[in-house]
Structure 1
Amino acid sequence: METLIGEGKTKQVFSYDSDHVLLRFKDTITAGDGAKVDIMENKGVINAQTSALIFRLLERNGIRTHYVGMYDERTMIAKKLKMIPVEVVLRNIATGSIVKRLPIKEGEIFDPPIIEYFLKDDSRHDPMLNYYHLEYFKLMNRKEAEVVESVMMRVNEVLRDIIRKMGFELYDFKLEFGRLGNEIIVGDEITLDSMRVRDPKTGRILDKDLYRKGYDLKTVKEAYEEFLSKLEKVV
């Protein structure tokens, strides 16, 4: 493995060459801005494989990402981006923080979807941002934010379609973006750590909300494995 140049809660970043980095997915699972932490065996492999399949799917649909290929089963080769420390969330169906923050009921459908921005700052519990905050902190200007939103909408179309083919429903998802020269493209990961996916018939949860709600690691891992297995069949 090359030189470690960065580490987050669930991934390590290693230097690779002048234009690329290696993202190594760890077996760590966290909730509550890192307040709750466990090791889920093989989670890094499951998430790396899930992310790779989704990135390839997005690329085939004309959506630019940092994905290049796989270095090993839990390590991705990615374009070196200057990451923007903002989480961009698209919501199709209400769940999670939005029903606590606003007078919105669990399960309300958003048509069109709602897009929200959050500053990546665990110590402040990822506060919500608007266009003015984005510009004030020099994170992105209004035009760039509109480009990001158009990418979010396009990703939503592709992801919802494939997840429905799997028999599930995409409630929401989070993406992170980075700069490659003058272009802003999709970076980081797309996994069940960053999506909410439900069985529309039973309401069964298949994502990290299982862990947040206190289910045991075996149940969480089985949901992640089931999702990956079904994804492999439709992508």
Structure 2
Amino acid sequence: MNRRRKIYEGKAKVLYEGPEPGTLVQYFKDDATAGNGKKHEIVDGKGVLNNRISEFIFTKLNGLGIPTHFVRRMNMREQLIKEVEIIPIEIVVRNVAAGSLVKRLGLEQGTQLPRSIIEFYYKDDALGDPLVSEEHITAFGWATPPELDDIMSLAIRVNDFLTGLFMGVGIQLVDFKIECGRLYENDMMRIILADEISPDNCRLWDVKTRNKLDKDRFREDLGGMLDAYREVAQRLGILVETDNALTTGPRLVQ
């Protein structure tokens, strides 16, 4: 990607100009971060796994008519995506009590919530991505009320799909974070799903053992982060065991 102009670099991905107008190339890095970048390590292979897992999920969502920025995977670390105007809000959907919800409300981790809860966080690392309300979002012009309706509708549809997808392979979807953007096509604008969906931004627990298969293994110094990501990919059918798996390990399905 050295020949292409860098548009933006985040903690886990880099965006470059795309091969044609209205497109970008999204590159997945091996960086693992927590605490808004305060904790940082390089985990070899993480970017490859996240690229493939996110490709798999976004392809399924596109097939269901849920609009996303994903066009196609270009190679092991890069995706071609549609260029969107990112809305500066992180949307978190919670099904089970974990993470900051436990700390804020004094809930026991693992408590099944009465219903799925949608929370909004203002995207600003310097402020620690603070929790905000719909009133904040509309008052400060980050999104309009109709856009928020579209965002919440997308979040609910994605949650329904992901819950079933992961439960089908013995994984409980505890919570996840998504981002949305405005896609401009001619004179039309619509809200679509952007960023990625991977173990970096989902909490995933094994249904039987409650073993964590996500970035909490890095946040909580549990170890085995890459193995957990491989486990998710393998269960989803993205990784297959080779005949000589004992010597080479699983391989990525092309």
- Retained in 1: the 8 A contact 2:91–2:119? yes
Q: C-alpha displacement at 1:143, in angstroms? A: 2.1
Query: What is the rounded CA distance, in whole Å, between the counterparts of 2:22 and 2:153 in structure 1?
Result: 26
Where 1:232 maps in the other structure, the secondary structure is coil
Q: How many residues align?
A: 232
Q: C-alpha displacement at 1:233, in angstroms? A: 6.0
Q: 197, 222, 227: which one pairs with 1:215? A: 222
Query: What is the rounded CA distance, in whole Å, between the counterparts of 1:72 and 1:11 in structure 2?
Result: 15
Question: Superposed, which structure 2 residues align to 1:31-46 within 5 Å?
Answer: 31-46=34-49
Q: CA RMSD in A?
A: 1.2
Where 2:109 maps in the other structure, the secondary structure is coil
Q: 197, 202, 213: which one pairs with 1:206? A: 213
- Retained in 2: the 8 A contact 1:19–1:79? yes
Query: What is the rounded CA distance, in whole Å, between the counterparts of 1:25 and 1:180 in structure 2?
Result: 22
User: Structure 1 length as normaliser, TM-score?
Assistant: 0.96
- Retained in 2: the 8 A contact 1:53–1:232? no
- Retained in 2: the 8 A contact 1:131–1:141? no
**Which stretches in structure 2 are left out of the alignment for 5+ residues?**
240-254
Where 2:236 maps in the other structure, the secondary structure is helix
Where 1:184 maps in the other structure, the secondary structure is strand
Query: What is the rounded CA distance, in whole Å, between the counterparts of 2:102 and 2:114 in structure 1?
Result: 16
Answer yes or no: is 1:6 the counterpart of 2:8.
yes
- Retained in 1: the 8 A contact 2:90–2:120? yes
Larger Rg: 2
Q: C-alpha displacement at 1:97, in angstroms? A: 0.2
Question: Superposed, which structure 2 residues align to 1:4-153 within 5 Å?
Answer: 4-16=6-18, 17-153=20-156
Residue 197 of structure 1 corresponds to 204
Answer yes or no: is 1:231 the counterpart of 2:231.
no
Query: What is the rounded CA distance, in whole Å, between the counterparts of 1:187 and 1:200 in structure 2?
Result: 28
| Letter in structure 2 aligned against 1:138 | G
Query: What is the rounded CA distance, in whole Å, between the counterparts of 1:162 and 1:233 in structure 2?
Result: 13
| Letter in structure 1 aligned against 2:233 | L
Query: What is the rounded CA distance, in whole Å, between the counterparts of 1:124 and 1:173 in structure 2?
Result: 21
Where 2:200 maps in the other structure, the secondary structure is coil
Q: What percent identity do the matched residue pairs reach?
A: 38
User: Structure 2 length as normaliser, TM-score?
Assistant: 0.89
Structure 1 runs, 4 residues or longer, greater than 6 Å off:
none
Q: C-alpha displacement at 1:194, in angstroms? A: 0.3
Q: 164, 167, 171: which one pairs with 1:164? A: 167
Where 2:175 maps in the other structure, the secondary structure is strand
